[in-house]
Amino acid sequence: MRYGFFSTAILFLMTLLFCLPMSVATAQTNLNSAVDFNQTIRPILSDHCFACHGPDSNDRQADLRLDTADGLQSILDSEERTRDYLLDRIHSKDPDSIMPPPEFQKPLSREQKNEIEQWVMAGASIEKPWAFNPPNATAVPPNIQSNVSGIDYFIQKMIETKGLTKNPPASPPEILRRLCLDLTGLPPNREQINRFLDDSSDATYHQLVDELLQSPHFGEHFGRYWLDLVRYGDTHGLHLDNYREMWPYRDWVIDAFNHNLSFDQFITQQLAGDLLPQLGDRGLIASGFNRLNVTTNEGGSIYEEVFARNVIDRTDAFGTIFLGLTVGCAVCHDHKFDPISQRDYYSLSAFFNSLDGRAMDGNTKDPAPVIRVATSEQESLIAEYDQSIQDFKQERQGPIESVDQAQIAWERSLTDQSLVTIQALHPDSVESAAKATMEILEDGSVKLVSDAGDKDTTTIIASIPEGNGWQTLHLEALVESEESKVGVSPNGNVVLTEITIEVGNPELDQPWVKIPTVYALADIEQKDGPFEIRYAIDGSFKEREGWAVAGHQNPGERNAWFVFAPLDTQETNQKIRVQLHYQSVFAKHQFKRIKLSLSDSNPSIPESQQITLGPVFSAGPFPIESPNPGYARSFASQGQAFQEDEMFSYQDQIFTWNKHEELTPVAAHELPTVVDRSSALVLYQNLQSPKPQNVTLLCGTDDGLIVFLNGKEVSNRRGPRELNPLDQEIELDLRQGSNDLYFKVINHEGKSEFTYAYRSPAIPLPTGLVDLVKTPAAERGSETNSALRQYYRHVFCLHPDWIALLDLEKGTRKAKEALEREIATTLIWKETKEPRAAHILIRGQYDQPGDAVDRDTPDFLGEYPSDAPKNRLGLAQWLTSDQHPLTARVAVNRFWQQIFGTGLVKTSEDFGSQGQPPSHPELLDWLAVDFQSHNWDVKRLIKMMVTSETYRTSHQVTPELLTKDPYNRFLARGPRHRLDAEILRDQALYLSGLLIDQQGGPSVKPPQPEGLWAAVGYSGSNTVRFQADQGDKIYRRSVYTFWKRTSPPPQMSMLDAPSRESCTARRERTNTPLQALLLLNEQQFLEAAKNLADRVQKEAGDVSEFDRIRWAFQTVTARLPSDAESHAIDSLLQDSKQYYRELPKLCEELVGENNENKAAWTLVCNTLLNLDEVVSK
Amino acid sequence: MNESQINQRMIHPELLASSMNELTRRSLFSKSAAGLGAAALATLEHRYTASASNSGHSPPLPHHNAKAQRAIYLFMSGAPSQMDLWDPKPNLTDWFDKDLPDSIRQGQRLTTMTSGQARFPIAPSIYQFSPHGQQGTMVSELLPHLAKQVDQIALVRSMYTEAINHDPAITYICTGDQLPGKASLGSWLSYGLGTENENLPAFMVMTASWTGRQQAQALYNRLWGSGFLPSKYQGVALRSRGDKVLFLSNPKGIDTTARRRMLDTLGSLNQLNLEQVGDPEINARIAQYEMAFRMQTSVPELADLTDEPQHVLDLYGPEVLVPGTFANSCIMARRMAERGVRFTQIFHRGWDQHGTLPKDLPKQCSDVDQPSAGLLRDLKQRGMLDDTLVVWGGEFGRTAYCQGNLTKTNYGRDHHPKCFSIWMAGGGVNGGVVHGETDDFSYNITKDPVHIHDLNATILHLLGIDHRRFTYPFQGLDQRLTGVEPARVVHELIG
């Protein structure tokens, strides 16, 4: 049985193969009685001969080329050869003689040989390649012009030539639905259906066309095709495939179509909007076109390779999008089929190699250059913040009375130590909470004389000495001798969990008021836990935190300074109460003897205890291919011992240390960088410390900064960022003796700004400062005064007014940054000041540059305008010149493809000799010239197409048309094909009333099945987890759907949408079972069915079920169903009602309630939305 | 009229369909799905639906007698370390922490992850190798189960590529080009050979879980995408959670009866419309909806392991029943092969051992060792290994020198494109062969280099396809999986 069927089937098929195609063949041969060179012969020669006898001069065999008239002539009619030569070679049976040679694997078919023979016999006329001459419009005869459009004239002419019969006009519903879908990507709504079916006159049709062209949906629909072509996506496309913020460009495209921006401007602004300052931000957004290529930041990438790839990608895209040529074939060698040499290619690429930004994307959403595209609300808020920051900054730099007073006191203390008042406290009382015995000694120090409790709090009360502006409490922990340890515990260590300082006098009804300590310093702190001095002033009494003094490790005394706002001692007889809390888990970790004093200046310590700073040295800048390796790679002696005369070999260059006296603390310095590249600079400073101690390093850069101390990385902050001088505080744990401090500054791009300073009583003042302050303020000069002020304020000042001001500014900056993170950015083009040198890359290899080339365009496509600049603006001028052979042809062909399903040139991405010749060469040229001469007016062009008779013809497929013109290239019938993915989804949402009609904005994420991103994404990628949006966002048009290029939305990609990783000029239209499953079962398609069911109940009116069916059917197809169709649906409806009535649980699962009517209607609507007629146009 | 002439004529596929009336091409193929005739039919169908131009000069497939009817590709994404698994270099023990000689590196460009290293100290493998099989092939102790299969395996120690980073390299080996936009191996096969079972896709993909380094390299849909080929040829993911195939299940509240009833109505409405409009594409759509309905049964049946006897499950190791594991994917691949899926590709991630290789590599190996070996044994015991090709490998190799800190017990390895190891088994492969050699540092190939294009040419060859003649016109070129430069079928691997 099986065999029987099999053989029958084969026999049947054989019959088909051997009979039917014959008739097709005959029909076609008859249609093409005269063999046309460009239509028939050139494609054969191109495909079978040009690879060896074509434009590629390096690989040309026998010095013969068949792509030029001269070359062809030489084998057709020359002294050595006659026409028979060609025919002999293609007919030869000798494998050594036959052309193409057998090893080429591309034999000519008998049909092709016949065609060549016919052509030769008919005189072998040779024509230039049709696409490389400027379009030349054949005039439409004047008597026809008045009532027939050019389109119909040429189409009709061809229909007659081919012996076809044209279909009658489409029915009103058919043309209405086609028109709405083609112009807006949405089906007609009820109002449009009612209106048009009521009056489908020509005038109404024209009026409808105008309305649709004015609808904002026009731009959304037309923009979408463009976005496929230019490979717009919401991620970078390679490796991590992180988010890329570019949607303002998408909105620009939509807007351009809606405002009917003339197509030459549309091209120009995208290519060179950055060079048209009059356009402002709009032009910059458009220039983002040049940034749409996929990019990477993969860890090991070699910068030059990525750079070369980006330039090649942009150049190829330019070729596909505007020229309709596969210029990319000339990356490695001269083009095999079209006359584009490798030199031409790289000359063209030179227009696209000078981006003032890095080739790697940094895995950020906004790799430079970018602009921010703020809403007006955001703009004004930012301006407000900026103003505040400016004000704060000014305030910070200007006079502040209280702070300046403090500065004067400080200056005084510098010039005359005698002016610094330090007063030891003589306690009135001392008390131990654990009842230990304490003793007050003569010098005011307090000594523990009994055994210590495991935990304790020592309370010391003393009179505040006379004087003004006390602001530092100095705690000295004393030892009996240099060898003895500072603590009473067996190991000699101490942990002070907290210190509190209060002022008051309860005896005089002045309660104790806590004085907040703003800053504390210790000469020695332990680093092996939460033991730094700051833990003793943090207000918490945690038993595992506090100032631990390493007493068990090193003998000798300890010092701490606690700084607070200057005390207001107007009140007399005030007392100070100091409590030392020893609440540590470590028992008896208490000082043996302490002494307290007050000072009216910031802490300072004796010269013998001071740290000596060495001069600053720099090595570099070292060029790096991207910031990442700069962070990872080791430069100079970074992190190792320093040798002033050491030399470093890096990338075949020698680097040495240079001394920089000018790199002084506090001031802002601009560090050297490498033009056009990222770079790393290493700075070195030596710190000599008399003992182990902590100092605070303050720094601020607009770059990445890594700091190494004595071979250890102590800080790693990635850039780039805005310079905020001295905003970063790094604790340096100095050892006794020499300390090597290295800064590695990683410059991402642009200039490199750097500030640094130290905060520590042990760090001496910069040389000359003391002399400086001795000079009376009036004589110092204003710059010096302001530098001094800055120095004081940043390094020493702890005045509460100052701190408050800093906090305010910091807070405002934070708020601004948070807002800025919300403002959309978009990638733009910005040209480097000087164009980069461009080279031919030998065999396309990034590391094998050949001859240098200048920016230029291929000669065979017309001359570069002599007055045009050699930049993208000039390139656009060249491209949009009337004489350019391709731009207008390529553009109108793609619009034709959008409307009619297939381009006049089917291979809309390739107008070269390997592409297909146009089905209607005259029409193509006529359209191109018409488009150019009418100011590249897109809406006018589209209107002409959709108002043509050709467009308005019925799409019925008759057996005759199917046989003679299976692909409908000659358009004797109207276009009919499956709708694109986006239209299918939008249509379902629209028909069901779910579509949210909102234009523009960030891309949205409608639901998709779980795990699709995670299944492929790099774990560190910011698009590895998909989180669907909520609310209205999920019902937006598909043009706004978030496009992750390495995992595009399945609802789109399953229906032939491209990944947007490369340029796509046309989509395939496949028909698969997976698509059926999608349209039947996907969440939103089902939701649409449910909502459509609701809509039917609500909107069809109070009519019979049968009429509801008719209403629903008409809503989705624009036509009323036949009786047979209505009955088929009715029977499904009735059966389903019955079924769901019997299975209430199932019913509830489907519609959430026990309502068989709703369930049955949902099933009916699911059916309607899956009709072939609805899925197709 | 010969076959190649037929190809040059544009026969609209639907022309055939419409002339066959009710007899859709699909049903015709399914009912005659045996022998060369069916393959030729399938080819015609694919060629005509797909062909974007009239220059479809590939003769019908297969070009020659296919040794393999189908293939399973076990892809180790991230690049497994060849000198720890398949390419032993015992002499390197003496080279511990000594610098890689310049004479070996020969100025090769390194990735920027190690190009800044001051030194390139050799990290000898800490794993023991021992001889296995009739030829005494040396295999690492990390692969005890695969070691027992070496007589089935043709091991290639001399693979190489030009790409040095993951994204371009994996795109290169899977699609023949480092840049996105080209068709993947599986989509080529799907396009060229179609499926043996119309109720399942021709090309299926699984992404398996892994236990080594969790910061794993990404995959990309393009690795199983169709590029310039129509999207119907793209790989279909068999998923470990949710619907096995996207949107396979009927929504809640629509059971099989309701769906069947609805599809009957849909079919008859489409039929009515066909009578009005005459477009044969409507017929094709009816057929696709019917096939979708059949897939709703065939896919769950495929994924249901309850009919697998314990002794078969045991072959794949303890994780065989854990959804999404490599073991689970392997048995699923065997079930697909059994059902005529042309090409199955399992991507296992986590092989990118830049650091702490001794911590991560054993985990990765234990993920795949027993399941890979089990797959070979299972295919063998069913008599399917003869015509099922199994390929195992990653996108490039790793360096003999250490990345990061080197100790006696810990090291990492950077990317290395100049040599790596893969193996093939079954489907006409000459088991037991060891092909190619590398130098003492597993750095340069010293004998019989095999480019990744050569590997793909060999895979195609085993499936009956001449890679030179297997083309698709796109952007003016006859695109090939194996690129424009000559590639070579490695006949030494073929039995």
Find tokens 């495209």 and name the residue: A253
Q: Which token pair is A691?
A: 């003992």
- Are B281 and A1047 inside 8 Å of each other by CB? no
- A784-820 pLDDT, tens per residue? 676 678 778 877 777 778 888 888 888 898 899 889 8
- A188-233 pLDDT, tens per residue? 999 999 999 999 999 999 999 999 999 999 999 999 999 999 999 9
DSSP string, A637-655: TTTS---TT-EEEETTEEE
Find tokens 């249509």 and name the residue: A987
Q: What is the dihedral of CA A607, A610, A614, A618, to 10 degrees?
A: -150
* First and final C-alpha spacing in chain A: 41
Find tokens 């020893």 and name the residue: A582
Nearest to B32 among A9, A111, A1053 (CB): A9
Q: Are B342 and B72 in contact (CB under 8 A)?
A: no
Q: Are B152 and B388 in contact (CB under 8 A)?
A: no
Q: Treating both helix axes as pointing N-terminal to C-terminal, what angle do A216-229 and A247-258 enclose, rounded to 10 degrees?
A: 130
Contact list in A for residue B118 (CB cut-off 8 A) is 634
Beta-strand pair B153-160/B388-393: unpaired
Q: Tell me the pLDDT band of A605, cut-offs 50, 70 and 90.
A: low
Find tokens 């560090």 and name the residue: A671
Task: Give me the mean pLDDT over the B240-264 stretch.
Answer: 95
Residue A18 has pLDDT above 60, yes or no: no
- Cα A1044 to chain centroid distance, Å, stands at 11
- Could you count the other beta carbons within 10 Å of the beta carbon of residue A488? 21
Task: Give me the mean pLDDT over the B125-137 stretch.
Answer: 96
Residue B147 has pLDDT above 60, yes or no: yes
Residue A564 has pLDDT above 90, yes or no: no
What is the chain B residue with the closest CA to A917?
Answer: B53
Q: Nearest to residue A311, comparing CAs of A349, A357, A362, A360?
A: A349
Higher pLDDT pick, A142 / B287: B287
pLDDT exceeding 90 applies to what percent of chain A? Answer: 59
Nearest to B5 among A111, A1074, A1124 (CB): A111
Q: Tell me the pLDDT band of B32, cut-offs 50, 70 and 90.
A: very low
The SS3 call for residue A1070 is coil
Specify the pLDDT at position A79: 65
Tell me the C-alpha to C-alpha distance, in Å, between residue A44 and each of A36, A115, A682, B57: 12, 9, 64, 12
Instruction: Tell me how far apart the alpha carbons of residues A132 and A137 are, in angstroms, rounded to a whole number.
Output: 15
pLDDT exceeding 70 applies to what percent of chain A? Answer: 93
As for the ipTM of the complex, it is 0.82
Q: Are A1039 and A982 in contact (CB under 8 A)?
A: yes
Instruction: Tell me how far apart the alpha carbons of residues B9 and A112 are, in angstroms, rounded to a whole number.
Output: 11
Higher pLDDT pick, A470 / B10: A470
Contact list in B for residue A909 (CB cut-off 8 A) is 475
Instruction: State residue A1055 phi and psi, 5-degree precision.
Output: -110, 40
Higher pLDDT pick, A570 / A1092: A1092
- Cα B441 to chain centroid distance, Å, stands at 29
- A251-300 pLDDT, tens per residue? 999 999 999 999 999 999 999 999 999 999 999 999 999 999 999 999 88
Residue B46 has pLDDT above 70, yes or no: no
Q: Tell me the pLDDT band of A416, cut-offs 50, 70 and 90.
A: low
- A637-688 pLDDT, tens per residue? 888 889 998 888 888 888 999 998 888 877 778 899 988 788 999 999 999 9
What is the chain A residue with the closest CA to B170?
Answer: A239
Q: Nearest to residue A798, comparing CAs of A537, A612, A613, A595?
A: A537
Instruction: Tell me how far apart the alpha carbons of residues B5 and A21 are, in angstroms, rounded to a whole number.
Output: 10
Specify the pLDDT at position A14: 41
Q: Are A880 and A266 in contact (CB under 8 A)?
A: no
Distance from B324 to chain A by nearest Cα, in Å?
Answer: 10
Q: Which token pair is A1144?
A: 């209430």
Q: Are A727 and A772 in contact (CB under 8 A)?
A: no
What is the chain A residue with the closest CA to B254?
Answer: A1150
Higher pLDDT pick, A422 / A867: A867
Tell me the C-alpha to C-alpha distance, in Å, between residue B356 and each of A438, B363, B396, B410, B414: 58, 12, 19, 6, 12
SS3 content of chain A, % helix, strand, coil (to 5): 40, 15, 40
Q: Per mean pLDDT, which range of A326-340, A585-599, A1118-1132 is the poorest?
A: A326-340
Specify the pLDDT at position B24: 36
Distance from B67 to chain A by nearest Cα, in Å?
Answer: 23
Nearest to B216 among A958, A1019, A1080 (CB): A1019
CA angle, A1136 then A1139 then A1140, to 5°: 90
Task: Give me the mean pLDDT over the B98-109 stretch.
Answer: 87
- Are A1139 and B279 inside 8 Å of each other by CB? no
Best B4, B167, B250 member to test A by mutation, with max A CBs in 10 Å, is B167
Best B31, B269, B289, B345 member to test A by mutation, with max A CBs in 10 Å, is B269
- Cα B1 to chain centroid distance, Å, stands at 37
- Are A1074 and B249 inside 8 Å of each other by CB? no
Residue A314 has pLDDT above 60, yes or no: yes
- Could you count the other beta carbons within 10 Å of the beta carbon of residue A332? 15
- CA atoms A476, A479, A480, A482: torsion sign: negative
In total, the C-beta contacts within 8 angstroms joining chain A to chain B are: 336
Specify the pLDDT at position A87: 82
What is the chain A residue with the closest CA to B178?
Answer: A309
- Are B288 and A1073 inside 8 Å of each other by CB? yes
- Are A18 and B476 inside 8 Å of each other by CB? no
Q: Are A666 and A757 in contact (CB under 8 A)?
A: yes
- Are A1076 and B258 inside 8 Å of each other by CB? no
